[in-house]
Amino acid sequence: MAPPGSELGRGGVVPQGTTMGYTADEKLRLEQLRALRRRWLKDQELSPREPVLPPRKPGLVEGFWEGFLKPGGLWRQQRRPYGIVETKPKIYPGDIIMETGEVVPPLEIPSSHH
């Protein structure tokens, strides 16, 4: 593309002595425009330090739930396993009670029904 101001000869042939391309002024202008565009695009990016809207104050209930549900809350750091319930081991006839050494006698089932 010929720079503005330079004229092509007849039939699209460039007259001798002229060069194709941008002049020094045009190159400088394009470079400045590129730098301005980059700076403008950088300014469009939001950072956490410059929020779009001011922070709103949550209500009483909403504030409680926001604090309560945050990771690392005290209710998540319980030491006792309140939700875990162990069942005692079942005892069958013939088992030996380790503390006393007793043998569990067989279960007596009465032969008569109600």
In a domain, 39, yes or no: yes
What are the pLDDT tens digits along the chain (114 aa)?
A: 555 555 555 555 666 666 678 999 999 999 999 999 998 888 877 776 776 777 788 899 999 998 888 887 777 776 766 777 777 788 888 888 888 988 888 878 777 666
In a domain, 33, yes or no: yes
How many domains does the chain fold into?
A: 1
The boundaries of the domain holding residue 41 are 22-48
Flag whether the pTM goes above 0.85: no
Do residues 103 and 95 lie in contact, with contact meaning Cβ atoms separated by under 8 Å?
yes
